[in-house]
Amino acid sequence: MFLLAVYFLFFSAIANGFFGRYLGVRGSQLLGPSALFLALLCSGTIFYEVCIQGCSTNIKLFENF
């Protein structure tokens, strides 16, 4: 959940940047804002869990080190 907010934005930038020509105008217009909206939903859920409920979360980025 915590990384999905970042991944949605990254996916939108990559898809529209590299494949925008193949998606077309309408596809790019739908993909960008929909990914932003999904990131907004994830961010709202993260805000609710961390700030309002007070849940602390540890995210291990590199488990091998």
Determine the pLDDT at residue 61: 77
In terms of Cβ atoms closer than 10 Å to its own Cβ (0-12, 13-18, 19+), residue 43 is middle
Q: Which of 16, 2, 4 is nearest to 48 (CA)?
A: 2
pLDDT 10s digits, 9-29: 999 999 999 999 999 999 999
pTM for this predicted structure: 0.80
Rg, Å, the chain Cα set: 15
Query: What is the domain partition of the chain in residue ranges?
Result: 1-56
Determine the pLDDT at residue 65: 64
Report the alpha-carbon distance of residue 8 to residue 51 in Å, rounded: 22
CA 52 from chain centre, in angstroms, equals 21
